[in-house]
Amino acid sequence: MFCFQCQETAGNKGCSVVGVCGKKPTTSNLQDLLIYTAKGISILRENLSLESRLENKELNSEIDYYITNSLFITITNANFDDEMISKEILKGLEIRDKVKTQLDNFGLDIKRLKNHDATTFTVKTIEDMNKKALTIGVLSTENEDVRSLREVITYGLKGMAAYYEHSVNLGYEKSEIVMFIEKALVSTLDDSIELGGLVGLTLETGKFGVDVMALLDSANTGKFGNPEITEVNIGVRNNPGILISGHDLNDIVQLLEQTEGTGVDVYTHSEMLPAHYYPELKKYKHLAGNYGNAWWKQKEEFETFNGPVVFTTNCIVPPKAGASYEGKVFTTNATGFPGWKRVEEKDGKKDFSEVIALAKTCKAPTEIETGKIIGGFAHNQVFALADKVVDAVKSGAIRRFYVMAGCDGRMKSRDYYTEFAANLPKDTVILTAGCAKYKYNKLNLGDIGGIPRVLDAGQCNDSYSLALIALKLKEVFQLNDINELPIAYNIAWYEQKAVIVLLALLHLGVKNIHLGPTIPAFLSGNVLKVLIDNFNIGTISTVEEDLKNF
Ligand code: FSO
Ligand code: SF4
């Protein structure tokens, strides 16, 4: 195995023995081969125009879903289940045949990489797959800079695919996004594309990153209304509960529907917290609160929750041996863990009946904290407060905004973000999205004339809202450049969704982003230099230094 896609990669170089995340070498290899399978399908499929794809809508959706779901499965902490991943590889080979037939039917030829191994290889057993994987992994690209750009693009595509899948689950499709994913996947195998071309493709990935986040924003707000200011209880009630984690709002709405009137409460964990902000979700009286913190605290927090847990997406942390919650965790969508149960669809609906039945036999959650946190500051809500915000900026009551979006993680060095937030001057406001917020959303940083000093827009994909807010401020203050705004960017990254958010911000022209707690291991020296020269990307130092320099 070799994997360096996340912030916690071993020695900030790469995991080569076992993943810091707990990913076994076989799992890592199978994930590499799954991506390679998707690339093989893409080589064939990029020759099909949108019109020809849409001649068979059902097949089109099936293959679009396959491509995006395969990428999603390989995101950090999404799937640890070798059996499930190997089945997906075999399914991919079947899909590859279907696309070949489509090309034949349309009399189309293959423009790029005809007869490439990715379009012809076959495997049957997990052993075959492991063997094959060792020849096509990250290190099979020898040139360090080419490898770096190919991987930046691939990781951006993984994040894009995740957001696309959530949109599709809510009925919002846009095949143009999948067509771009395919084009980019093929390009990562195409030796005729040199560094300049790959840099261009990296920036184009950012453009489609904006598109996919916009699509997901319309899906979420179209289905559940615009997020509004909401106080979320962080204590517990006396009923048994189900804890739901991850980003998929289509799952939580179905769980809320199916638990209504059963005496079982629903609590959110980590990235599911923003579900509370949506009118069509918060209306459920048994949506009881948010339990715990960011993903990496789950090993302790699931112990005290007492009831079942549902993972709709990453981040899964492999449990300790003998964990009391073993047997109570369910996965769905792209997530998987060996031995854990699945929530599958029945008659077009997710079937949570087993989870609910199990919850009824469990004790109510043990309280680990009390109080409330406030959020719901996505674009629509902030625009509604625009006059107040603009006045506060004009009067000098708000001197600066700090975008502190992104992810949380296990590393001790991330305490930096708590300290940074706590020590910001009182006339500054933090704009946040993603699980990074757990580093400071319980600090009670107060408000400025009624505007809370931490404005939580939602999940990591809601960084899109933060971009819209910045663009709105630019318009109100009649500036020519988004970088003239009094906004500083201090972004924490962990996995590949943060990569697509970053590329999207670069596409929107945002400069001077500080990325931490470390610079990605997958950026080679030269690629990093391109980012510094063109976007002035930097990292973090000490809180003191950074408070002075930002
Ligand atoms: Fe966090 Fe995990 Fe949303 Fe990520 S729960 S780390 S960037 O999955 O996706 O912010
Ligand atoms: Fe290592 Fe991160 Fe890859 Fe896991 S996802 S194997 S921790 S680099």
Determine the atom of ligand 1 nearest the C-alpha atom of 498.
Answer: 7
- Whether 23 lines ligand 2, by a CB cut-off of 6 Å, is yes
Q: How far is CA 228 from CA 100, 158, 454, 475, in A?
A: 48, 29, 15, 23
Sequence-ordered alpha helix ranges (H) in 188-318: 195-224, 249-259, 279-282, 298-305
Contact 406, 501 (CB under 8 A): yes
Token representation of residue 44: 């064939």
Sequence-ordered alpha helix ranges (H) in 401-462: 415-423
Minimal-distance CA residue to ligand 1 atom 2: 315
Q: How high is the pLDDT of residue 475?
A: 96
R_g of the chain computed on alpha carbons: 23
Give the closest residue to 281 by CA, choosing from 303, 250, 307, 310: 250
Contact 393, 487 (CB under 8 A): no
Which ligand places an atom closest to the C-alpha of 246?
1
What single-letter DSSP state applies at residue 351? Answer: -
Measured between its terminal Cα atoms, the distance across the chain in Å is 39
Per-residue pLDDT 10s for the chain (550 aa) are: 999 999 999 999 999 999 999 999 999 999 999 999 999 999 999 999 999 999 999 999 999 999 999 999 999 999 999 999 999 999 999 999 999 999 999 999 999 999 999 999 999 999 999 999 999 999 999 999 999 999 999 999 999 999 999 999 999 999 999 999 999 999 999 999 999 999 999 999 999 999 999 999 999 999 999 999 999 999 999 999 999 999 999 999 999 999 999 999 999 999 999 999 999 999 999 999 999 999 999 999 999 999 999 999 999 999 999 999 999 999 999 999 999 999 999 999 999 999 999 999 999 999 999 999 999 999 999 999 999 999 999 999 999 999 999 999 999 999 999 999 999 999 999 999 999 999 999 999 999 999 999 999 999 999 999 999 999 999 999 999 999 999 999 999 999 999 999 999 999 999 999 999 999 999 999 999 999 999 999 999 999 999 999 8
User: Would you tell me the crossing angle of helices 144-169 and 175-187 to the nearest 10 degrees?
Assistant: 160
Q: How far is CA 385 from CA 250, 373, 432, 478, in A?
A: 28, 19, 17, 18
- Whether 8 lines ligand 2, by a CB cut-off of 6 Å, is yes
Q: How high is the pLDDT of residue 324?
A: 97
Q: Which CATH class is domain 377-549?
A: alpha beta
Q: Does the bond joining 315 to the residue before it have cis omega, within 30 degrees of 0? A: yes
Give the closest residue to 164 by CA, choosing from 175, 154, 153, 155: 175
Residue type, 209: G
Give the whole-angstrom CA distance, residue 546 versus residue 439: 17
CB atoms near residue 288 (< 10 Å): 24
What single-letter DSSP state applies at residue 366? Answer: P
- The verdict on domain 10-223 having CATH code 1.20.1270.20 is yes
- The verdict on domain 230-360 having CATH code 3.40.50.2030 is yes
Give the whole-angstrom CA distance, residue 131 versus residue 126: 9
Give the whole-angstrom CA distance, residue 384 versus residue 543: 33
Which ligand places an atom closest to the C-alpha of 272?
1
Q: How high is the pLDDT of residue 146?
A: 98
Give the whole-angstrom CA distance, residue 508 versus residue 502: 10
Which ligand places an atom closest to the C-alpha of 496?
1
What single-letter DSSP state applies at residue 480? Answer: S
Distance from the alpha carbon of residue 500 to the mean position of ligand 1, in angstroms:
12
- Whether 6 lines ligand 2, by a CB cut-off of 6 Å, is yes
Site residues for ligand 1, CB cut-off 6 Å: 270-271, 295, 314-315, 407, 434-435, 459-460, 494-495, 497-498
Distance from the alpha carbon of residue 6 to the mean position of ligand 1, in angstroms:
11
- Whether 437 lines ligand 2, by a CB cut-off of 6 Å, is no
ipTM of the modeled complex: 0.96
Q: Do the first three CATH levels of 10-223 and 377-549 match, i.e. the same topology?
A: no
Distance from the alpha carbon of residue 50 to the mean position of ligand 2, in angstroms:
35
Q: How high is the pLDDT of residue 434?
A: 98
Residues forming a β-bridge with 454: 430
Contact 454, 440 (CB under 8 A): yes
Residue type, 506: L
Q: How high is the pLDDT of residue 82?
A: 98
Give the closest residue to 228 by CA, choosing from 458, 471, 404: 458
Beta-sheet strands, E only, within 24-93: none
Question: Ligand 2 pocket: which of 2, 3, 151, 494 to mutate (most atoms <8 Å of CB)?
Answer: 3
Give the closest residue to 365 by CA, choosing from 337, 325, 311, 318: 325
Q: How high is the pLDDT of residue 474?
A: 97
Burial (CB count <10 Å: 0-12, 13-18, 19+), residue 162 = buried
- Whether 428 lines ligand 2, by a CB cut-off of 6 Å, is no
For residues 212, 216, 219, 224, the Cα torsion angle rounded to the nearest 10 degrees is -170
Burial (CB count <10 Å: 0-12, 13-18, 19+), residue 499 = buried
Residues forming a β-bridge with 538: 514
What number of CA atoms fall less than 13 Å from residue 58's CA on the CB side? 0
Domain limits of the chain?
A: 10-223, 230-360, 377-549
Contact 302, 329 (CB under 8 A): yes
Q: Does the bond joining 517 to the residue before it have cis omega, within 30 degrees of 0? A: yes
Minimal-distance CA residue to ligand 2 atom 3: 3
